[in-house]
Structure 1
């Protein structure tokens, strides 16, 4: 046994202190927003360093776990401070492992179980009598008819309706809706307000707003003043009293939770954030019409075909490595490859715009010559990939801007190069799947200053958008959901049927495999790597009415996390005709020479072709150039969650995309029964999360659920005007047609 302090050098200790100070901001946030002054942070860093030097020992170049436990026992007993010190200890041991080649131990983070703060408190019911009077006022047909008679004098009634019945509790949004009608959009006969968030409106709100806009006069008025004037005029409150915005929000919260659920309220008010659909995807699924993406080639600017070919050739294990490539590979370590990247980034000069453009052209030409040498791609594939990204940044800009400033490009590439090469340099690119890429990129992100971790995301986006690693999913990166970078494309049930029909018409071996792969992801939520590693033993069938898929780790592939192991009931999730095809494939492909633990897809090249074919079919049907195979999994999550969350008594075919057999009441009952869910169960989101293999519903909601906005008009703002209201506004002749 030797003390770890014997290998610590002064240079290493200074590096650790510098890195710990850089990361302390992020660590304090993770430790539940712990507040520490600068001198307190330094004291904690010194304490962790001192304890480690005193107590941690090495045994055969491996850190003794009992010595680390001794350090942990000496740390602070305060929960938040203890976790902060644990993260500092983890950073120290990880840096020691990377610097000195010793083997570290896993440090488990402490958790504190706390009861969730209730959304409803006793104080919220103090205004219950006033709340009852307000809702009686709004739901009175006589009051609604009187409003339609003179809407210009009863602005407060409309504001109160939008607030308490439509759930719009922002005065800025209310003013915008009333006095800027262009902010209210119509799509497939459904109205929604497009502000910071998208809020769908009921049919009654449409009628009340039409009446107001037809008679609108004067300038915008104070919303709260108008509401109070209406309540005083209706003798609900005395003239000396004023209802405050906080009281109205408490009433809305109470009504929303009792009418729907606490979970639905949390989703609507962004307490449980999700990623909404993009405008183009929303238009496509609501109208059934594909959106033409103008200048697609410019919008998704890709690397050259020559560069893509060189990258793909570097992945082929064809034993054709040249002498030059072997010489480069044998002679270049991580630091030398980082130096190559830095040589090119240093050539980017910070100049005026025109001079900068000429500088970009020169650097691109030098990069192009280096990238087009096959031995560079073969010997140093990850260095080559980073420089290809640099070329892309110079030529096409970043994720949001078509042109980046020189300082920005240098910051991107210099921040990412060392951490990425350090994690990837010893990896075999041809043997890495999307899960391994995501894991390595997450590790690389840990070695980057917390303010710059987005740069890893930008690099990963470049890799994904150019199909260089087709099964890498940005949602698997730890930084993706928190940065709002989730690609929210999904396919409807109708589009899925069209994809299957398109593949079926090809009648090739690859197209039949593509159908199965597509269904396994769209109807079962499987990842690409999970599909590739499926075995015959994973399918359990008992007659025609029961077939279960057990997703579990095996010798062919690991799973992303322990929670990824799960059972999926295919008999209630798959269409009957597609389930018949799956059973037939399993029956005919399994010969007497195949064991139960054999892979169901044995030809890897053919399987990769099938994935590519399925993705191309998805792009063709949706006209979405950014569509990826992983969006099948997103689609599975959204439609299953929407199916389970639909109200028991709902208007049939409310949305265009729900006009499908998948959303029939009978199918919903089958799925609910098979998943052991009851109508008022709070486990619906948990069920979806478990079927996806996620650790918690928050992960599912943040990265996968994009359709929760559609539950608002179905479960809360589900108001329809009575025939008397319609006759009052449109006239009897209109209704008689």
Structure 2
């Protein structure tokens, strides 16, 4: 294939029209990237420069602008903001304009990204008080200071405050005062005590718990002047002059220095919330710590949904399925610029301003009436689809309010709509919703999010996407595919423990739901590998790799079925490390069973499941997750959250450092942790664990991982920084001799001591358990009465295909609406007939009628044979004895596809007549008769064989109406001198092919069914020679199906008798 030589673009006469359009769009560009010296002359200068460079430098070949010429143009343009973005936008507009005028397309423009160096956490001023910090740490760690505090807690309250700031990381005065005043802000789950503020949770070390026992029993009231208390304590210990002050800010600097030097930069940022992260809710913690089901209902929210009429109007304009039901609106999408469509929305939003409740109600009523008229116009839906969607959202916000409030302020609504409108319409402008699938929508919505600078306004896009999902305007779109940077009140933080995961898998194994096996596989891919919903849907066979049956790896990458959320989404996942052995074997077994010979390696892994099947499996899995845990807030995407958190726990060896109840699972073994670090090539003492997990999740940096997926920052802080145990001498000084600690560091008190301590015991966080145990059978679909179990070859063929693809008899029964006994009977009969197939051959027959080895053309051919059999079943039953055909599979020649060699004349003649009745096009029959390989010296000895030849020719010509040219004779080499005598009857070939056949009158015949036209003939030149007729393995599989059919028919007849 040759490519045309690059040529200049045909752009004559375009400049004036393009310049006018570009100047219209400039107002939108300036809003996003303001120019320092904005004027009309400056704008014209930018447009002229882009146009002139494109005219002189752009080249196209094969109706596409070359990447090299585009790169040359971009090098000529400024590379500093804001000019970089403005020039990029104008060039993008020009490329779109050229494509619309000439049909010449262009590759995606390269985008320059400016990288700014991150501000270091530790700066020189952090080290100014490092010597004082070391002295203070030595003081609060000393035995004398602790003993003095136990003896006089009130006088030494500075010790407790310093401990809480520097050792427990509670570094704000407003957070410390409440727990010094009372034990009521403290809570416990199991044996673990924590303190919770509005945005933070601090798990107290066992030593801190002991210090509070001492403090609360002293009944001391804290001083409101905490800084003064600290200063007096340090002055008393000669660490600070009375003329110098040391504030809380300085102590925070000391904490930062200690934390970063002992642990890492990223761990300190997580603790101090410089890296945003969302902690687990209390009900999730209770599940993890207790391992029990809880009752947690979903939070009551308003469904973000458009009206039924508006939904129907949208579907009538853009849904192919709905178009069959109601009349389609044929008007094409209007050729309006992005600015013109944005102005239409602005016409309505400009009316939204701060007003009194009465005035706001009046404005809302008037706007709703205007919007109702516009949204009901079907032609406007088709003409301006994306403008219509924004206006429909505006209508919903005005009429129904938001997610949590039934009424929103007009200014809030305006902020929502205007923030989303411009980037949304600009990105989707020129697209046709009818040609977009859910992946295209998700990809473009993510681009919209990237174009918005404010994190708060980025979240508005997700709010708008939820409206599209709830209204079913974009089927199969999921909020988890929208990449919104997290903020503390936006992330839905939840995870599933490995104990719960085992219970979920066990429940699915017990389920009789037809999608239970698929749901189990999906759960393994989500929970153990962190795959998103669309990544699972788009898995291909070529994504699975291994070396010498080891080092199994899954390559997650974009393909023709699936795009990734970002370019960093491509990643390699070590399956043999991340997956437990049982799940790995099951997954690889499924891949092997699903990869049939006729399927290319770039085919979908779940090719035999329709979209509805996958959606049903995801829905079943979500319901099982909620049923097993009792937590109705769980979603499938929380499997990915779980993967992120548990993989970090594995890399950090969290189980070996501290005994948390949710880590008491063999998945967190030291061996697995070492294997994972080895595969990821990171050391145990590294600080790169978050980078490693970010790569496994497909994130560009740990920032995306920590902000949206990491929910155990408080647990990590408690494990690695605040993990102090009380000293024995200290607890015995306070509680008395003989007091001991258990393995977790909890003080073991005597009954009398327990009664004293109970008065100051933190409140136990508890959640009610569900009233009834989870019953997986409640999720099973209603049982279908299989009234019609009529047997056909098509049904047998479909059942065996599904069996070969790994589906169980129960699933096949439910999905095909057949009785379970019938499906089981078909599969069992096929299995029993395998040893009888080609029994006289040294080659063993393959199971499932050789379905796994069939190529795509073979499958199509077999389908034609099956259809022909079912169509002519009545004629076949009346004309021939189908029972004889069961013997055909015994006489199959294993080394020669579609060849049957037999000495049974009735079988041979029945089979020939069988093929003749089916009368498939492009199929011919050839019969070869084998002469006895015996030394014959006299012609008279040969005469009986001539009679046998005449028998076969007569039967073919007069009984079966076949041309005698289809008959030929195979003559042994030792009888070659008799060739002229045999040639008088039919075409004779000298061959040793039947040398070892034992002759039985009227002789062995080989029946060959050959095909004359093939799938590959479509690509042949019309003048090329026709393909040579040849045997096909599809015919062998067809005969095996017929044998199964006949066997089952006989069984049914016997049962009825």
TM-score w.r.t. the length of structure 2 is: 0.59
CA distance in 1 between counterparts of 2:331 and 2:630 reads 43
**2:231 is equivalent to residue 228 of structure 1:** yes
CA distance in 1 between counterparts of 2:531 and 2:12 reads 47
Higher-RCO chain (CA-CA 8 Å, sequence separation at least 6):
1
Corresponding residue for residue 264 of structure 1: 267
Q: CA deviation at 1:493?
A: 2.0
Alignment partner of 1:620 out of 592, 606, 627: 627
Corresponding residue for residue 695 of structure 1: 700
Any residues of structure 2 matched to 1:364-383 within 5 Å, and which? Answer: none
CA distance in 1 between counterparts of 2:214 and 2:40 reads 64
Deviation string 1:609-658 (CA, Å, 9 cap, x unpaired) is: 22222233334344555533222212211211122124585122x2x322
CA distance in 1 between counterparts of 2:711 and 2:21 reads 46
- 1:327 is paired with a residue of what secondary structure? coil
- 1:7 is paired with a residue of what secondary structure? helix
- 1:550 is paired with a residue of what secondary structure? strand
Q: CA deviation at 1:283?
A: 4.5
Q: Cα–Cα, structure 1 residues 682 and 158, in superposed 2: closer, same or farther, change >3 Å?
A: same
CA distance in 1 between counterparts of 2:189 and 2:13 reads 66
Deviation string 1:139-173 (CA, Å, 9 cap, x unpaired) is: 22342232122212212111110111112233333
Moved more, 441-450 or 185-194: 441-450
CA distance in 2 between counterparts of 1:382 and 1:20 reads 19
**2:508 is equivalent to residue 503 of structure 1:** yes
Corresponding residue for residue 545 of structure 2: 540
CA distance in 1 between counterparts of 2:318 and 2:511 reads 29
Alignment partner of 2:491 out of 486, 489, 495: 486
CA contact (8 A) 1:495 1:622 kept: yes
Q: CA deviation at 1:736?
A: 4.5
CA contact (8 A) 1:548 1:570 kept: yes
Moved more, 681-690 or 438-447: 438-447
Corresponding residue for residue 461 of structure 1: 466
CA contact (8 A) 1:689 1:695 kept: yes
CA distance in 2 between counterparts of 1:511 and 1:582 reads 15
**2:610 is equivalent to residue 604 of structure 1:** yes
CA distance in 2 between counterparts of 1:41 and 1:199 reads 55
Q: Cα–Cα, structure 1 residues 554 and 18, in superposed 2: closer, same or farther, change >3 Å?
A: closer
Corresponding residue for residue 742 of structure 2: none
Corresponding residue for residue 644 of structure 1: 651
CA contact (8 A) 1:503 1:512 kept: yes
Any residues of structure 2 matched to 1:125-524 within 5 Å, and which? Answer: 125=127, 127-179=129-181, 182-188=184-190, 189-218=192-221, 220-288=223-291, 292=295, 296=299, 298=301, 300=303, 317-318=320-321, 320-321=323-324, 324-328=327-331, 353=357, 386=390, 389-390=393-394, 392-409=396-413, 412-413=416-417, 416=420, 420=424, 423-424=427-428, 427=431, 432-444=436-448, 454-464=459-469, 472=477, 474=479, 477=482, 479-481=484-486, 485-524=490-529
Q: CA deviation at 1:521?
A: 1.3
Alignment partner of 1:735 out of 749, 755, 759: 749
Corresponding residue for residue 87 of structure 1: 85
Q: CA deviation at 1:718?
A: 0.5
Q: Cα–Cα, structure 1 residues 153 and 304, in superposed 2: closer, same or farther, change >3 Å?
A: farther
**2:573 is equivalent to residue 564 of structure 1:** no
Corresponding residue for residue 30 of structure 1: none
Alignment partner of 2:674 out of 669, 673, 677: 669
Matched residue count: 718
CA contact (8 A) 1:5 1:54 kept: no
- 1:152 is paired with a residue of what secondary structure? coil
Q: CA deviation at 1:515?
A: 1.0
> How big is the alpha-carbon RMSD for the aligned residues of Structure 1 and Structure 2?
4.4
Alignment partner of 1:22 out of 24, 31, 40: 31
Moved more, 199-208 or 270-279: 270-279
Deviation string 1:687-737 (CA, Å, 9 cap, x unpaired) is: 111111222222222222222221100000001112333334445576356
Corresponding residue for residue 709 of structure 2: 704
CA contact (8 A) 1:539 1:549 kept: yes
Deviation string 1:652-678 (CA, Å, 9 cap, x unpaired) is: 2x2x32232223334323333333332
Residue segments in structure 1 that go unaligned for 5+ positions in a row: 26-35, 77-81
CA distance in 2 between counterparts of 1:386 and 1:118 reads 42
Q: Cα–Cα, structure 1 residues 9 and 638, in superposed 2: closer, same or farther, change >3 Å?
A: same
Moved more, 271-280 or 410-419: 410-419
Q: CA deviation at 1:193?
A: 3.4
CA distance in 2 between counterparts of 1:21 and 1:334 reads 16
CA distance in 2 between counterparts of 1:447 and 1:553 reads 22
Q: CA deviation at 1:343?
A: 9.5
Alignment partner of 1:594 out of 590, 599, 622: 599
- 2:329 is paired with a residue of what secondary structure? helix
CA distance in 1 between counterparts of 2:13 and 2:293 reads 63
CA contact (8 A) 2:182 2:216 kept: no
